Amino acid sequence: MSDIIQLLPDHVANQIAAGEVVQRPASIVKELLENSIDAGATKIELIIRDAGKNLIQVVDDGKGMSETDARMSFERHATSKIRGTEDIFKIATKGFRGEALASIAAVSQVELRTKQKDAALGTNIYIEGGVFQFQEPTQTSEGSNFLVKNLFYNVPARRKFLKNNNIEFRHVIDEFQRVALAHEGLEFSLFHDDEPIFRLRRGTQMQRIVDIFGRKLHPQLIPIKEDILWCQLHGFVAKPEGAKKTRGEQFLFVNGRFFKSPYFNKAVQEAFEGLLLPGYIPTFFLFLELDPEKIDVNIHPQKTEVKFEDEHLIFALLRSTIKRALGIYNIAPSLDFERDPQLDEMMNKSFSNKSNNIGNLKMPEIIVDRDYNPFLEERGNPQIEIQNLTKMYHQNFSTEPSKINLFEDEDFDEDLMRLPNGYWLFNKGDRTLMLDLGRMHRLLVAEGNKRSKRSTNRQSLLFSLEYHMNETEKSKYKAIKKYLPELGFEMNINHDSVLSIDAIPEGLNESQVMKFLEDLLEVLEYKTEEEFLQFYQNQWNKMQSKSRFDFIYKADAEQLIKDFTALGFPEFLPNGKRCFYEVPFNDFKNKF
């Protein structure tokens, strides 16, 4: 039997290895921008064509490279950042694996022009599909100029999996923003298809956030600052009105490096407990500074995940500091603006004693269900649901029998009754249902719009409405603007990034326009253009619908129930949420 195991050719191995580092154009943007920062650049320019599929160019004024270093930088595992294994655990720079440029060159056509300070000439290198083509002296500016062309030209199977330009460019903007937010002292520019997208001046952290996300965010930002010897926390959180329905403006950094952490996101969410509507996520820009030996950034190829030595303490630090800041700015009630004594004790112990037992300490919690909702399937335990329902009945009808007999009250109707939480109880034959009239109304509105094929006539506004857009919103707007005229909108963006709205669809109140537009630009994140019309229709239906709290009169409730019955009394909305819930009254006899 012949041998079947053999070594892969170098170019094939390099292309496979490149898959860990280069997933899309945004991956290259991240690596090249970080290289420029490590090179000491003060001014960095990013130039993109076709969302990075055909060109990604990064020009910086850093220290540049020698002829030998320029050639060596494209070899696998070649790096200036590490000399021994121990160096991995005290990384203070961005790129350090020594794989990025080799991986990029393996799946594209790369040209590098670079020159060191005071050198008479620079060097020009060209590599195609990982194969070195030439290197020659050249006249060029001090610093480095990387050009990455025709990404995945030699791996067509991977190129076809790239998304459309709108989506890929949105990922490019994400990476650009993450790097720029962490380095407010540097000047950044971004151009896409010759159009300037960002021109970011050097300034303060606050100025950088506002320059990226727009002036309307400025009055919402609350400063966060805490120093506990071995860890410093600073940055900003937005007031509750700045919260979003989807993730997007939640940024965590450690030592100037962006990272993702659902665990730390939960700490921020808990700090806003009781301040946000269900489903909303706070906006935050938070920066941690601590000893590089206390973190491990080498656990993920894109270095977006970080392992912390004392993550439980940092969780407590985030939650406590943010909650205190919200209290100071009168966003949330606070009895004591001083730092949590228990947190201080934990920090001091951690600083003086590295016992692993510290990580097992847990902050005390009081869990209160402030918004019991039997329509959420995950509420689970039917016995608890029965207990809650019993409480509601006792709160509304329980009193001393000698004083009131409910069944002799002429106004009492045992067929239909409104509860204090907005739900209604409805007897239908031998079944008793708890109704969410808001969801029932939404389904009726959707069916009505479907049958009538809502008119897209427009109504002109006497005075134009203006909406200040940041670059992220502009990018999303450009992806959907071709649909808006046929939907009844008339709008355009002027040179100051202000969206001027001159006409809106019939049926849309002027007071609803801004909120409706924000919902479109927010929830559309990473959706394809083809999904937009369906999403728009869902938002339109939702906007026209009433909530369960809008139904306070019995006559309105009765009419809605009749209309809903004609619809077949469906139990669920298309998204799977319940319209009604059957009350298991037979189980109540076990409670008495």
Instruction: Say which residue the tokens 């809903």 belong to.
Output: 564
Confidence of residue 39 (pLDDT cuts 50, 70, 90): very high
The answer to whether residue 568 scores a pLDDT higher than 70 is yes
Query: Residue 539's closest CA among 469, 446, 434, 441?
Result: 446
The answer to whether residue 83 scores a pLDDT higher than 50 is no
Cβ neighbours for 257, distance < 8 A, ≥ 6 positions apart? 94, 182, 297, 303, 306
Confidence of residue 320 (pLDDT cuts 50, 70, 90): very high
- Beginning with the edge strand found earlier in the chain, give each strand of the sheet holding 143-149 in spatial order: 131-138, 122-128, 109-115, 143-149, 55-60, 43-49, 187-192, 195-200
The pLDDT > 70 percentage for the chain reads 75
pLDDT tens readout for residues 355-382 = 444 445 455 455 555 555 555 544 444 3
Average pLDDT (552-565) is 89
What does the DSSP assignment read for 458-478?
EEEEEEEEEEE--HHHHHHHH
pLDDT tens readout for residues 382-392 = 344 444 444 44
Confidence of residue 143 (pLDDT cuts 50, 70, 90): very high
Predicted pLDDT of residue 347? 54
* CA pair distance 492, 447, nearest whole angstrom: 32
DSSP for residue 301: T
pLDDT tens readout for residues 184-195 = 999 999 999 999
Per-position b or e across 98-122, b if 16+ CB within 10 A of its CB: bbbbbbbbbbbbbbbbbbbeeeeeb
Q: What are the φ and ψ backbone dihedral angles of 527, each rounded to 5 degrees? A: -85, 150
DSSP for residue 7: P
Extract the runs of DSSP E, i.e. beta strands, from 77-217. 109-115, 122-128, 131-138, 143-149, 187-192, 195-200
Predicted pLDDT of residue 584? 81
Single-letter code of the amino acid located at 530: E
- Check the CA dihedral 161-164-167-172 and report its sign: positive
Most confidently predicted of 22-26, 55-59, 408-412, 503-507? 55-59
Predicted pLDDT of residue 484? 87
Going from the C-alpha of 186 to that of each of 146, 252, 368, the distances in angstroms are 19, 19, 46
Average pLDDT (59-73) is 94
- Which of 397-401, 423-427, 576-580 has the least mean pLDDT? 397-401
Predicted pLDDT of residue 528? 66
Average pLDDT (289-311) is 78
More confident residue, 449 or 529: 449
Instruction: Say which residue the tokens 């319940």 belong to.
Output: 578
* Paired tokens of 137: 């002296």
Cβ 386 vs Cβ 587: under 8 Å: yes
pTM: 0.69
Predicted pLDDT of residue 36? 95
Going from the C-alpha of 191 to that of each of 46, 124, 172, 199, 525, the distances in angstroms are 6, 23, 11, 9, 21
The answer to whether residue 85 scores a pLDDT higher than 50 is no
Confidence of residue 447 (pLDDT cuts 50, 70, 90): confident
Predicted pLDDT of residue 453? 59
* CA pair distance 510, 319, nearest whole angstrom: 39
- Which of 111-120, 483-492, 514-523 has the least mean pLDDT? 514-523
pLDDT tens readout for residues 101-131 = 988 999 999 999 999 998 999 999 999 999 9
Going from the C-alpha of 373 to that of each of 66, 119, 437, 542, 549, the distances in angstroms are 66, 71, 14, 19, 14
Query: Residue 481's closest CA among 430, 433, 532, 438?
Result: 532
More confident residue, 37 or 573: 37
R_g of the chain computed on alpha carbons: 30
Residue 44 burial (CB < 10 Å; 0-12/13-18/19+)? buried
The pLDDT > 90 percentage for the chain reads 40
Cβ 108 vs Cβ 151: under 8 Å: yes
Cβ 519 vs Cβ 471: under 8 Å: no
Extract the runs of DSSP E, i.e. beta strands, from 6-65. 43-49, 55-60
pLDDT tens readout for residues 399-423 = 333 332 323 334 434 788 898 888 9
Query: Residue 355's closest CA among 314, 316, 309?
Result: 309
The answer to whether residue 152 scores a pLDDT higher than 90 is yes
Average pLDDT (526-542) is 74
Instruction: Say which residue the tokens 């009726």 belong to.
Output: 444
- H or E element in which residue 541 lies: helix 532-544
More confident residue, 522 or 296: 296
Query: Residue 435's closest CA among 419, 447, 446?
Result: 419
Average pLDDT (208-222) is 91
Identify the bridge partners of residue 226 per DSSP, sorted by sequence position. Answer: 233
Instruction: Say which residue the tokens 């805490």 belong to.
Output: 226
The answer to whether residue 92 scores a pLDDT higher than 80 is no
Cβ 400 vs Cβ 551: under 8 Å: no
